[in-house]
Amino acid sequence: MIYPTLADRIRKNKPVALLTVIDGPNLGATLLTSPNVENIGTLGDQELDRVSSRDALGELEAGRTSVRNYGPSGQVTPEDLQDTPVVRVFVESFSPPPQMLIFGAVDFTAALARVAKVLGYYVVVCDAREVFATHRRFPMADEVLVTWPTPVLTERGPDLGARDAICILTHDPKFDVPAIQGALATSVGYIGVMGSRKTHAKRLERLAEVGVTKSQDLARLMSPIGLDIGSRTPEETAISICAEIIGKRVGRNVPSLANSEGPIHK
Amino acid sequence: MREILGDIDRWRAQHKRIAVARVVDIEGSGPRDPGAAMAVNEDGEVCGSVSGGCVEGAVVAEALEILKNDSPGRLVKFGYSDDEAFAVGLTCGGVVHLFIQPLSW
């Protein structure tokens, strides 16, 4: 059975692709594929299964969902596809959700974690102070870690990519300097750092003291964090941060506080 | 699909017949990307969505028809054109291609 396995892999955040014949011979046939395990199901032809599942694993890695055309035995070149019925296969990728790492267990953290969950993020909250970093305060978070940023980013940093986000909400230099250093060592798509323009200026001095001075590194830091929409409450700030993340991800020119001047709150 | 697993599991536990509709392609402006899914059970109960609410009603009718006829599945297109102006369509001007099939897998 394909559905129970699909549901199980989606829930366990394991990458999985579902292939469905949406046009041509064996209409409605399905095949399930994941990296390093055997396929389940068939599209009606062994060679078609082999070729289409190989393509699907590539689509899965890129997080793409698309329709692909094959001959009944997996033919892909235009010459081979002449005078033969075309099998249109819908390749649906289920990639693990993007991750958001939030450093600092403050009031803004709960609001940001809530909004991030709405957007489908796997949310990790991290703070070294065990009285603040508790599941009771952040029931919406997928994980609450009582530890310092460096070990977390050393362990998880290599897995972070363009879809992921790191938000540093602590204003404590002991905490935010190593968090920024660790974040810059990853390929994470978004690094937001909370604080007023004054805090940001002081933070840049402290970063310079530990050798973080490269302009391409500093340009990755969205600080002050979020869009210039005059947000006041933790919830409004969370929306402005997530909107900035969306805008950065798709490459839109959004009104980030980091690129504007003047007071954050009007 | 992720957000409708709970409802589908519940219906499966009740041995309901289920049809799944998925967006497989969009042309122009479309409210939901490929992969957006809704499911309809034999009683006409619905979970999930495939548009901004514009075509869901028509999808339910199509899904029930597919369950009734034991069809292996069907590609369905919803869009906007002058002669369809008062029929089901997307007000945003895009075209959405759906594949609707029984959840027999």
Tens-place pLDDT, residues B62-76: 999 999 999 999 999
**Residue in A with minimal Cα distance to B75:** A22
- For residue A3, what is the nearest residue in chain B, using CA coordinates? B105
pLDDT tier for residue B82 given thresholds of 50, 70 and 90: very low
What pLDDT score does A82 carry? 82
pLDDT, tens digit, 9 for 90 and up, residues B30-65: 778 899 999 999 999 999 999 877 788 899 999 999
Scanning every residue of chain B, which has its alpha carbon at the shortest distance from the alpha carbon of A26?
B72
Q: Across the interface, do A28 and B72 touch by the CB < 8 Å criterion?
A: yes
Which residues of chain B have a CB within 8 Å of the CB of A93? 35
Rounded to whole angstroms, how far apart are CA atoms A135 and B40? 36
Q: Who among B2, B22, B99 is closest to A10 (CB)?
A: B2
The rounded mean pLDDT for chain A is 93
* Nearest chain B residue to A92, by CA: B35
Residues of B in contact with A250 (CB under 8 A): none
Nearest to A180 by CA among A188, A171, A165, A191: A191
Average pLDDT, chain B: 88
Which residues of chain A have a Cβ shorter than 8 Å from any chain B Cβ? 1-3, 6-7, 10-11, 20, 22-23, 27-28, 30, 41, 65-67, 90, 92-94, 120
Confidence of residue B79 (pLDDT cuts 50, 70, 90): confident
Predicted confidence (pLDDT) per residue in A240-250, tens digit = 999 999 999 88
- Look at A7 and B103 and tell me if their CB atoms are within 8 Å: no
Instruction: Determine the residue of chain A that is closest to B105 in CA distance.
Output: A2
- The answer to whether the CB atoms of B73 and A27 lie below 8 A apart is yes
Q: Is the CB of B105 less than 8 angstroms away from the CB of A41?
A: yes
pLDDT band at A261 (very low <50, low <70, confident <90, very high): confident
Say what the ipTM of the complex is.
0.90
Residue A84: the pLDDT is 85
Measured distance CA(B47)–CA(B65) in Å, rounded: 17
What is the DSSP annotation of B56-84? HHHHHHHHHHHHHHT---EEEEE---GGG
Q: Does A22 contact B105 at a Cβ distance shorter than 8 Å?
A: no
Domain that holds residue B11: 2-102
Considering only the beta carbons, identify the residue of B33, B75, B105 that sits closest to A2: B105
Higher pLDDT, A241 or A77: A241
So what's the pLDDT on residue B5?
97
- Span A7-11, mean pLDDT? 95
Is A197 within 8 Å of A225 (Cβ atoms)? no
Q: State the pLDDT at residue A20.
A: 98
Distance, in angstroms, between B84 CA and closest chain A CA?
25
**B2–A30: do the CB atoms touch at under 8 Å?**
no
Of B33, B99, B105, the CB nearest to A3: B105
What distance in Å separates residue B102's CA from the closest CA in chain A? 8
Which CATH fold topology does A99-259 show?
A: Rossmann fold (3.40.50)
Q: Which comes out higher in pLDDT, residue A200 or A62?
A: A200
Residue A87 pLDDT > 60: yes
Element (H, E) at A48: helix A46-62
- Find the range with the poorest average confidence among A66-75, A171-180, B58-67: A171-180
Flag whether pLDDT at B81 surpasses 60: no
Tell me how close the Cα of A7 comes to any Cα of chain B, in angstroms. 7
Cβ distance of B34 and A66 shorter than 8 Å: yes
In angstroms, the separation between the Cα of residue A8 and the nearest Cα of chain B is 10
Cross-strand partners of B19: B40, B102
Average pLDDT over residues B71-82: 82
A1, A11, A41: residue with CB nearest B5: A11
Helical H segments across A107-165, by residue range: 107-118, 149-156
CB A99 within 8 A of CB A125: no
Q: pLDDT, tens digit, for every residue of A118-149? A: 998 999 999 999 999 999 999 999 999 999 99
Q: Nearest Cα to B12, choosing from B42, B53, B38, B35?
A: B42
| Per-residue model confidence (pLDDT) at position B90 | 60
- A178 vs B92, residue with greater confidence: A178
Domain coordinates in residue numbering, chain A: 2-94, 99-259
Domain count, chain B: 1
CB contact under 8 A, A27 and B1: no
